[in-house]
Amino acid sequence: MILRRSEARAPLALRSISVAYRGVPALWDVSWEAREGSMTAIVGPNGAGKSSLLNAAIGALRPLAGEAFFWGQSFASARSRVAYVPQRESVDWDFPVTALQVVEMGAARRLDWLLPDWLLPDWLLPTWVRRQEGSREHRAEARSCLEDLGLGAFADRPIGQLSGGQQQRVFLARAMAQQADLLLLDEPFAGVDSETEDALFHRLRSLCDEGTTIIAVHHDLESARTRFDDALLLSGSVIATGSAREALSEDNVRRAFASGSATLASSDPGARQLA
């Protein structure tokens, strides 16, 4: 495998990725590289393949062709450095877990999955299989992530009792608990009120400043232009990439939405909800 130098360094490099569902192409020949420590919005009309792109990158969806590299490695070797947040609607929010338990799933490492601490405490294990950090520490870590997002009071609530925005924040807290260097977020602001959205952007920006790379599927053109550094405009294939302002120019957006079946959306407020 020969990688270009930029491909080997980029937190995420996509090389000619094509995806099809039942023979119908959804993504065609997408190549793109994320800039380390930046915030990128993936934007495009309905059915543009935004979520498929994330899923293909992490191997949840087998691409027809093409490859994804994380710092030059396959996802399987880099997965401990990557946090993936699926769409909120993809899970059953009536599921009987508490907010804290969800976030703990992000904090769990290797052995925690199969051998709960209460069943087989760490001091009984030989050193080479010991958990990297104690489970007690994980619990504290998970709680501090929740508090960080203003959900400390809701830690022990069943997730079904939380509002849509709070549920979204629980998902983000879980991603933060993974302490990843790359965050892949699928519609993290869907169903979130503007106040929460502000707070979340603020939090994400500070993660970025610490060096984390953030890639989010986003549905709002206006905030994509103003709040993100870079943008990847998709409509089956790549329409434009680059800085958010340039990539999401009126012209480019018109091209992206004209090629799809979706209605043309410009900056007029009524048509801004594109997803």
Partner 1 sequence: MSDTDERAADAIPAGLHEFMTLDLMPMVAVTASAATLALLGSFLVLRRQAMLGDAMAHSVLPGLVIAFLLTGSRAAGPMFAGATAAAALSGLAIGAIIRHGRVERSAAIGLVYTTMFALGVLLLELNGGANVDLDVDCVLSGQLELMFWNVPSTWAGVFEEGGLDGAPAQPLRLVGLLVISCVAVAVGWPLLRAVAFDPAFARSRGLHPTMVAAALMVLTTLAIVLSFDAVGSILAIALLTCPPATARLLTDRMGPYVMLSVGLGAAAGVLGYLLATQAAPLLLGASVDASGSVATLSGLGLALSAALSHRRRGGSGPAAARL
| Interface residues toward partner 1, by CB under 8 A | 55, 58, 60, 76, 79, 82-86, 90-92, 94-98, 101-102, 105, 108, 112-116, 119, 158, 160-161, 174
Nearer to partner 1, 95 or 152 (CB): 95
SS3 per residue for 155-195? CCCEHHHCCHHHHHHHHHHHHHHCCCCEEEEECCCCCCCHH
| The 24-33 sheet, strands edge to edge | 24-33, 13-21, 65-69
Nearer to partner 1, 166 or 241 (CB): 166
User: What is the C-alpha separation between 106 and 139, in angstroms, rounded?
Assistant: 10
Give the shortest CB-255-to-partner 1 separation in angstroms: 31
Give the shortest CB-58-to-partner 1 separation in angstroms: 5
The DSSP code for 270 is G
Nearer to partner 1, 67 or 112 (CB): 112
Give the shortest CB-69-to-partner 1 separation in angstroms: 16
User: What is the C-alpha separation between 209 and 112, in angstroms, rounded?
Assistant: 30
Q: Which pair of tokens denotes residue 109?
A: 């490492």
Nearer to partner 1, 107 or 253 (CB): 107
Give the shortest CB-140-to-partner 1 separation in angstroms: 17
Nearer to partner 1, 102 or 149 (CB): 102
User: What is the C-alpha separation between 194 and 1, in angstroms, rounded?
Assistant: 45
Give the shortest CB-130-to-partner 1 separation in angstroms: 17
